[in-house]
Structure 1
């Protein structure tokens, strides 16, 4: 997340991108699917999910498996959207080969208008022998998006919804930029981008919404939404007075949509001491807080889906 603010064999894994991997070990009986997704995606065997690395391929296979198990179809262009792009690396710019994962749920009322939900599944991999598991950044946003997909599969949305689990965010928003360059639907049919990046650690009770300064018509839709447990929506990080690391307009994948003039809203928590450190682990997440933040995110999505185009 926020890369603009900071300067099981290979062949089997490639096959797993198209064919669901072997199912993981069953989750503990008391563990929800949301928490299981977070735990699995941020486990050591994902090796930090770096773009083009075996851990990233393994994470991709898991997400595809989850979508297939839920019966969430691919759009007509297909499930996978590969790309190659020049991106950031600690040792200098290099070319990365990544793959976005796509899914689509038809709308019941405004089916020719689309909401694109993004969540990046990559993280920064292994550095100096330490695994950067990226539980909050951004296994959490992926888990939230998967929970939303399950909800919309059970109760279809009014707008068509495309889910884009994008790759290469940490290397310069590579997957999101590729998505808007070759979108699966015309750009002018996209009503809104909703981006989830770091949704687990709302330890201060705030799930931030960035983008209502740029799109003030969206704020009245969200303001009435009640807190869920200990987590409520906060608005900001998007005004001229928000400078440096406090301005998130260009901070994650929504920036690629903003750059081409599309409305966006970014949902995420504030920085914490484990951000971009090897300590961003599953054990640091409070399941109840993450569950509340995800439920709040879904409530917000439902409100937006009902209100847009009316």
Structure 2
């Protein structure tokens, strides 16, 4: 009976772990908006009221449009009402991205106000006021605009050790043009020494401080000193380098300023869509962003901290405290843990269970990944979009079922002390591997393992201390990895869904090692049954809801090179809704100018915007051939010139201000693009690496669908909306240079 009870205990542990993971969201909740605030605190209601006035009718307001002019006028009125004197700094900018073959152009009108202070280098507070052509941008970056205005109302009456520059830049959404123009040509940039940047990739959740300047010891110490409810970890800075999203910080980094960068990332389904509106913006998120940045602004606007070239590891614990450690101390500690674990494994002859535990982690992770891939073929697209927690739990249950079964098998042949040691040795090993790719991960693998390894080392003297420290370490490891899992679920809304599987396996392993003994077949069977039920639920759950809508953008694309026209629907690979078949058949494939896969069906040829490009100059260059062209949108909103990857494009940009193509950029087509009224008549230079004439693709886009699209758009689900790009009319033609 005792053996059977132990078997059920293993199942109970798995279900308890699933319950913890189901409740993981409590670890990343922003603080509630207080009912009453003092005169020195961030006033959420006042900040939101300002934002509501600025956004007006909440229409999209992309760079260099009449709608953005209106937003800018209202923004300047709000700045003046605070008691500051706003100025507009205008510039035409064409700039690129690191490791990219794209140059983006737009005319920007940055709004700047200065709060006087002492003689120390200025603190720059940055947010952008433009939107994408798709939505009103209440969060991205209305939350930054509202935060800066409320902070300005506080700081203007406080004694500051340095001036504070408020930069409301334009053109961030199109190519970081406003930030580039400020950093490269605005005289005020020379006075800046510190920066706080505010962004959004969703409409809710806490304000994550996700990126700092390097070395980061000083900004992290100031962030820790200022922030009452910190949400931040040192993996995020490493991870920010891997994801494709770029913020204004990309243009500010070369200036060498000390900086902190904040963002909210809850419910990315509304990001860059009509759903990013005032009704969706979380008041709690606005309060947390505002209160956190206000405190950090006061800290950074004070006296300079002693300089340091050190790097800190850091992580928050449920947003209540920030744990920090120097990277040197962390690396030494992790290396010592790895050494001690290896010595103990050898001395106690635990290498077989250690191998078994590693196999259990890998097997659970692979099984979850394989199931998610197979089911992705059955139900294509981001089917988890409306209820991501169901799929995350299905992944976790799959990991636990496989891992628990293997742990129990090994536990039948080895004593608990060996299993305990093996589990922590594997956690430490994976921590070492993770830290090689992401050094910021070190701090996630030293606290719990240190406590547990101390317990394992004293085992012969005190079984109680051994069990207690092991359980304490397991609990700490579970909490910190569970919070990380919650953050990854928010970040990777597009998948892969099994990305959390390794963390689930490592969080569960020490606990399973403590209870995984005896006849566990029935218990593990229940866990497997739960995994099956969760996967079935994930397959049957609606993929969209009113709160988390489906992405669905419809374009009419007409290609004069082939004489064909198509309807192109971007659904993130989700199947086309019922009713669209009568306009079909719909087949998936990339568009000529875009690698993203779209559902495409034949469409009628229509009159629409037709851009033009005129060659107005040509000259030999030491590198090849320099061509100057003039653009004309032809009634469109944006224009793009695309060169295939065989065309040796060396640089593109404004005359005498060429942007060299990054030598480290991946091979592929090169683009120069422009958005807004100022594209008409814009002159740009193109530098080619050979003297031969080239053929390019000229693409123009009108940010509105043609009238003939009405019948199709009427079939779009009520829980669907355009995202990233609006429903549009696109025209393609060939041009020779």
Q: TM-score range by the shorter chain?
A: 0.7 to 0.9
Paired residues, what number?
258
Q: How does 1:89-168 map to 2 (within 5 A)?
A: 95-107=105-117, 110-126=118-134, 132-168=135-171
- Partner SS, residue 308 of structure 1: coil
- Partner SS, residue 72 of structure 2: helix
Matching residue within 179, 184, 190 for 2:182? 179
Which deviates the most, 273-282 or 233-242? 233-242
Provide the residue aligned with 1:222 in structure 2: 223
- Partner SS, residue 136 of structure 1: coil
Flag structure 2 segments of 5+ consecutive residues without an equivalent.
1-42, 97-101, 307-737
Question: 2:302 and 2:105 mapped to 1: Cα distance?
Answer: 41
Deviation by residue 1:62-102 (Cα, 9 ceiling, x = unmatched): 1111111111134xxxx1111112379xxx97742220001
Cα displacement (A) at 1:51: 0.6
Cα displacement (A) at 1:32: 2.3
Q: 1:274 to 1:73 in 2, by over 3 A?
A: same
Deviation by residue 1:118-142 (Cα, 9 ceiling, x = unmatched): 110011124xxxxx11111011101
Cα displacement (A) at 1:218: 1.1
Provide the residue aligned with 1:81 in structure 2: 89
Matched, 1:38 2:38: no
Cα displacement (A) at 1:212: 5.0
Provide the residue aligned with 2:614 in structure 1: none
Which deviates the most, 283-292 or 158-167? 283-292
Is the Cα contact below 8 Å between 1:102 and 1:165 reproduced in 2?
A: yes
Matched, 1:305 2:301: yes
- Partner SS, residue 168 of structure 2: strand
Is the Cα contact below 8 Å between 1:50 and 1:125 reproduced in 2?
A: yes
Matched, 1:282 2:255: no
Is the Cα contact below 8 Å between 2:218 and 2:305 reproduced in 1?
A: no
Provide the residue aligned with 2:458 in structure 1: none
- Partner SS, residue 122 of structure 1: coil
Per the normalisation by structure 1, the TM-score is 0.74
Matching residue within 76, 80, 98 for 1:64? 76
Instruction: Return the index of the structure with the highest Cα Rg.
Output: 2
Provide the residue aligned with 1:269 in structure 2: 264
Deviation by residue 1:253-305 (Cα, 9 ceiling, x = unmatched): 12211023222221112252211122111111222331232112101111222
Is the Cα contact below 8 Å between 1:105 and 1:161 reproduced in 2?
A: yes
Question: 2:95 and 2:275 mapped to 1: Cα distance?
Answer: 25
Matched, 1:198 2:208: no
Which deviates the most, 65-74 or 208-217? 208-217
Provide the residue aligned with 2:557 in structure 1: none
Question: 1:273 and 1:215 mapped to 2: Cα distance?
Answer: 32
Is the Cα contact below 8 Å between 2:204 and 2:281 reproduced in 1?
A: no
Q: 1:49 to 1:236 in 2, by over 3 A?
A: farther
Cα displacement (A) at 1:200: 8.2
Provide the residue aligned with 2:543 in structure 1: none
Cα displacement (A) at 1:238: 5.0
Q: 1:85 to 1:224 in 2, by over 3 A?
A: closer
Question: 2:189 and 2:226 mapped to 1: Cα distance?
Answer: 31
Is the Cα contact below 8 Å between 1:193 and 1:254 reproduced in 2?
A: no
Deviation by residue 1:159-199 (Cα, 9 ceiling, x = unmatched): 11111110000111101101011223362x32111111229
Provide the residue aligned with 1:47 in structure 2: 59
Provide the residue aligned with 2:479 in structure 1: none
Provide the residue aligned with 2:636 in structure 1: none
Cα displacement (A) at 1:41: 3.6
Higher relative contact order (CA 8 A, sep 6+): 1
- Partner SS, residue 252 of structure 2: helix
- Partner SS, residue 293 of structure 1: helix
Question: 1:143 and 1:200 mapped to 2: Cα distance?
Answer: 16
- Partner SS, residue 145 of structure 1: helix
Runs of 4 or more consecutive aligned structure 1 residues displaced over 6 Å after TM superposition: none
Is the Cα contact below 8 Å between 1:257 and 1:264 reproduced in 2?
A: no
Question: 1:200 and 1:63 mapped to 2: Cα distance?
Answer: 22
Cα displacement (A) at 1:158: 1.9
Matching residue within 248, 252, 256 for 2:247? 252
Structural RMSD (CA): 2.8
Question: 1:87 and 1:102 mapped to 2: Cα distance?
Answer: 21
Is the Cα contact below 8 Å between 1:202 and 1:289 reproduced in 2?
A: yes
Provide the residue aligned with 2:359 in structure 1: none
Question: 2:110 and 2:176 mapped to 1: Cα distance?
Answer: 11
Flag structure 1 segments of 5+ consecutive residues without an equivalent.
1-29, 127-131
Matched, 1:234 2:232: yes
Is the Cα contact below 8 Å between 1:176 and 1:256 reproduced in 2?
A: yes
- Partner SS, residue 187 of structure 2: coil
Q: 1:259 to 1:226 in 2, by over 3 A?
A: closer
Q: 1:57 to 1:63 in 2, by over 3 A?
A: same
Is the Cα contact below 8 Å between 2:207 and 2:288 reproduced in 1?
A: no
Provide the residue aligned with 2:602 in structure 1: none
